[in-house]
Chain A
Amino acid sequence: MSAILRRPQLPEALLQSLPRLLALLLLCLSLSLLSDVFLTWGNAINVLRQTSLLFIGASGLTLVVLTAGLDLSVGSTIGLAACVAGTVIKATGEPLLGALCAIGIGAAAGLLNGLMVAMLRIPSFIATYGMLWVLQGLAYFYMAGQAVFGFPHGFRQLGRGLFLGIPIPIFVMAAVLTLGSFILRSTTVGQQIYAIGGNAVSARLSGVPVRRRLLLVYVLSGTMAGVASLVFLAQLNSAQADIGSTLTLPAIAAVLVGGTSLFGGVGSLSGTFIGALLLTLVLNGMNLLDVDAAWQPLATGCIILAAVYLDTRASRSRRG
């Protein structure tokens, strides 16, 4: 069993993330030289607040990628869930009901993805790419060109509130990171997820319930997108149909830059955190240096290509 697991042990994990930590350090150093504002408490908190949203959205996606799959519907799940939750909260004044709707929509979308991938064996990028457009179409249809904004103070605390001087989303991120890493490292389910990505056939032969685990992973990805949509909604204080469309690419980039391999079985949630932080810092730096926001997708695209190129080379040298 242990032969098929590529769960990184601690020294190996540190070694793997060393180049990324170095890149992080270099980035911080050059940004602090280029901009006076970069090394301020306000900017640091701002960066972490944006990182938290990206990380929460990408956390479930990390699990999917660990099984050698992909979930492209994360962004539009966030979009639809935020729209429905926003209108529900606005109409009833009950944040809890809205939260239930968002998480329910996320889980349902994830379940559909999981059924298509695990039961019908549709390639995951096709199934979730179809779901991307289905959910986006539903969001546009549901909102009918309208926006919803102005939520109760209690709900906005989730995005804007402070606890001990630190924004609440950062605590949510820390909780997801700790709990998720524990599950991945120290439970059977976590080991099985790595095993499926390492080699699905031998995982099945050694008794891993592959279909059920795949289903779980996609449901978790959708659910975490639902959670992210709530944080997003509370931060933004408004929702309209297209808000999710710009989130898919950064989420995938965060996972890949964080060193989780597209070929499955290699990676970690802490890697995704570093990836999300790196990406946010790049975008933050572009903002501070007054680069037009229109160039951001271009930068994200180049970062994705570079990260996957390095990953492909690394995995080839691992295989010998």
Chain B
Amino acid sequence: MSATVDRRPGPLARLPGVAAMLIVLVVVFALASPDFATLPNLSNVLVQSSVLLLLALPMTFVIMTEGLDISVGAVLTLGTLSVAATALATGSLVLAFLAGLGTGLAFGFFNGWLVAYLDLPPFVATLGSFSIAQGLALALSGGQSITGMPPGLLAIYSGTVLHIPVPILIIVIAYAVMHGLLYRTPFGTYIFALGGNREALVLAGIPPRLMLAAVYALSGLMAGIGALLLTARLNAGHPTAGIGMEFDAIAAVAVGGTAFERGNGWLFGTVLGVFAIGILRNGMDLLALPSSLEVACIGLLVIAAFLIEAIKGEQP
């Protein structure tokens, strides 16, 4: 199996795991809360999941290369601070957006350099940059929020175009681009090969290190875009805004059925995983359960996903 490169999107056999979880969650919450299965609430789930989706899509790529990016939550945090600080200082949303993108890209390249060129284990490399980004966020902000944003910023999160909320448009575009990148370009093939068969890349004359670094850079870049959306949502920059988001992103990818070895990934599964987590959080909010339990339940969701995989793996 490891010798071949599985290029096709998810085989139907993989669908039941995450789809079954989604159906169970929807049915349970629809029965438990009358407010759950309403159009405004479901649209709300989509909007609230937008930042997470921006992180989880490139995380799928990273995990397909048998890597991991622990730093995205902290980079997102630092990104919101750059966006907010730039918006406050210049009043320009374009410059603020560029500052967020720059922060994300800088950490993405740093991670890519650590993993691809210095050969550090991805987990520890990104744990180190997580610590650096979070440390910078706390130290530079002095633990304070940055408020007083220009008036246009809010529209990026709460505005609508043709009655469709802007965040939903952003995630549809982001998914289309990432889907195209993975399934329609040579770069996508390289991503599958990085996890499945790295020697094949070398033999084909493709520089595997450069491709691997590009995957981490992409992850940083998307965190930068997410930072703009999150800053607009909070209408402020906050030194703990993105804490734990990397866990939700990894959980979404795991729940979505992307394997942590052999380069088997399924991008739309990640989307379903993001929705499963979004629905879980939204439903528990509606039932007024404490948010600390949401975190514990997402942990259980991940373990359940692995259990399903393990059971399926034992009966081929």
Contacts and interface: CB of A to CB of B under 8 A. Distances in A.
Interface of A: 70, 116, 120-123, 125-127, 129-131, 133-134, 136-141, 144, 241, 249, 252, 256, 262, 292, 294-302, 304-305, 308-309, 312, 316
A116 B142 contact: no
Interface string B74-86: 0000000000000
A62 to B, nearest CB: 15
A76 to B, nearest CB: 10
Interface stretch (B4-12, B112-120, B164-172): B112-120
Given A137-B294, A138-B292, A297 B131 contact: yes
B132 A301 contact: yes
A312 B71 CA distance: 20
B310 to A, nearest CB: 5
Nearest to A296: B135
A134 B121 contact: no
Instruction: Give the 6 A-B CB pairs with smallest separation, nearest first.
Output: A301-B131, A298-B135, A140-B292, A137-B296, A137-B295, A297-B135
Given A116-B303, A120-B310, A312-B119, A252 B127 contact: yes
Contact of A308 (B124, B130, B292, B303): B124
A305 B114 contact: yes
Nearest to B295: A137
Nearest to B141: A294
A119 B233 CA distance: 42
B266 to A, nearest CB: 17
Contact of A133 (B130, B143, B298): B298
B141 to A, nearest CB: 9
Given A140-B292, A256-B124, A308-B120, A122 B131 contact: no
Given A301-B132, A308-B125, A294 B143 contact: yes
B147 to A, nearest CB: 20
B127 A249 contact: yes
Contact of A305 (B125, B142, B247, B250): B125
B124 A131 contact: no
B187 interface: no
A154 B143 CA distance: 37
B240 to A, nearest CB: 11
Contacts of B182: none
Nearest to A297: B135
A122 B300 CA distance: 13
A308 B299 contact: no
B231 interface: no
B89 interface: no
22 contacts: A70-B123, A122-B310, A123-B260, A130-B302, A133-B244, A134-B300, A137-B294, A138-B296, A140-B290, A140-B292, A141-B290, A249-B127, A294-B143, A295-B139, A299-B135, A301-B131, A304-B127, A305-B124, A308-B121, A308-B125, A309-B120, A312-B118
Contacts of A130: 251, 299, 302-303
B219 interface: no
B136 interface: yes
Nearest to B127: A304
A126 B302 CA distance: 9
Interface string B230-260: 0000000000000010010011001000001
Contact of B306 (A120, A249, A294): A120
Interface of B: 68, 114, 118-121, 123-125, 127-132, 134-136, 138-139, 142-143, 244, 247, 250-251, 254, 260, 290, 292-300, 302-303, 306-307, 310
Residue of B120, B121, B124, B142 most packed against chain A (CB within 10 A) = B124
Contacts of A294: 135, 138-139, 142-143
Contacts of A137: 292-297, 299
Contacts of A302: 128, 132
Contacts of A297: 131-132, 134-135, 138
A134 to B, nearest CB: 4
Taking each of B138, B244, B250, which has the highest tally of chain A beta carbons within 10 Å of its own beta carbon?
Answer: B138
B293 to A, nearest CB: 6
Contacts of B244: 133
Contact of A295 (B114, B130, B135, B294): B135
Contacts of A144: 290
B119 to A, nearest CB: 5
Given A120-B306, A295-B135, A308-B128, A129 B292 contact: no
A134 B132 contact: no
Contacts of B139: 292, 294-295, 298
Contact of B299 (A131, A292, A296): A131
Nearest to A263: B121
B121 to A, nearest CB: 5
A304 B128 contact: yes
A261 to B, nearest CB: 10
B292 A121 contact: no
B135 A134 contact: no
A297 B123 CA distance: 17
B30 to A, nearest CB: 24
Contacts of B132: 297-298, 301-302
A304 B131 contact: yes
Contacts of B292: 136-141, 241
B135 A129 contact: no
Contacts of B300: 134
B290 A133 contact: no
Nearest to A121: B310
A304 B120 CA distance: 11
Nearest to B142: A294
Contacts of A256: 124
A116 B125 CA distance: 24
Contacts of A133: 244, 247, 295-296, 298-299
